Amino acid sequence: MDTISTSSDTDDTCLRICELLSRSSPDPSTKVGALVLRNYKIIGSGYNDFPRNTNQDPLLWADREEKYRRVVHAEQNALIGINARNAILYTTMFPCSTCCGVIINAGIIQINTFLIPEAFALRWNMSIESSRSMLRSAGVEVKFHLVPSALVR
Ligand SMILES: [Zn+2]
């Protein structure tokens, strides 16, 4: 069981912004928002989407295999084009193993996310374990937060 961290006002604000960002994702089933913070300044943000200037046909989103081949995850979009060395990442979903590789190599030192929902944990168990293992050995701290009360629907 993951330990719940105490959320600072900054954590709450950043996770709320991530949730707002996630709403921009055109993915009909999974919407993720992420942002990168350094010295209390947002230096990157993103949501899961197909690459810019590529075919955005909803039929491509409906085809799960094709979607997986094309989509750029929120965490990667938030990290593209910035220097994230020693920065903090916020994301609405525990990052997949591919994103964890990018997060580690980008120099992120801490990840803040929501507790992993049980259904998600069961479905993505292997990826979650790979992520946890890599983050642990790379020394990236992971803090789990409760969904801010303002976001509880
Ligand atoms: Zn990912």
Question: Tens digits of per-residue pLDDT, 52-97?
Answer: 999 999 999 999 999 999 999 999 999 999 999 999 999 999 999 9
Find the 80 Cα to ligand 1 centroid distance in Å.
13
Ligand 1 center–CA 50 separation, angstroms: 13
pLDDT of residue 25: 97
Distance 3 CA to ligand 1 centre (A): 22
6 C-alpha to ligand 1 centroid (Å) = 25
3-state secondary structure of 27: coil
**Lookup result for tokens 């944990």:** 121
How far is ligand 1, taken at its centre, from the CA of residue 39, in Å? 25
Percent of the chain residues topping a pLDDT of 90 = 82
Quickly count: other Cβ atoms within 10 Å of residue 91's Cβ: 27
Which pLDDT score, from 0 to 100, does residue 131 have? 96
pLDDT of residue 150: 59
Residue 80 neighbours by CB distance under 10 Å: 13
Residues in CB range of 132: below 8 A, 6 or more apart: 142
State the chain's mean pLDDT as an integer: 93
- 12 CA from centroid of ligand 1 (Å): 22
Give the Å distance between the CA of 94 and the centre of ligand 1: 8
- The model's pTM is 0.93
CA of 149 to the centre of ligand 1 (A): 26
Give the C-alpha separation, 122 to 42, whole Å: 32
Q: Can you say whether the dihedral through the CA atoms of 36, 45, 32, 145 is positive or negative?
A: positive
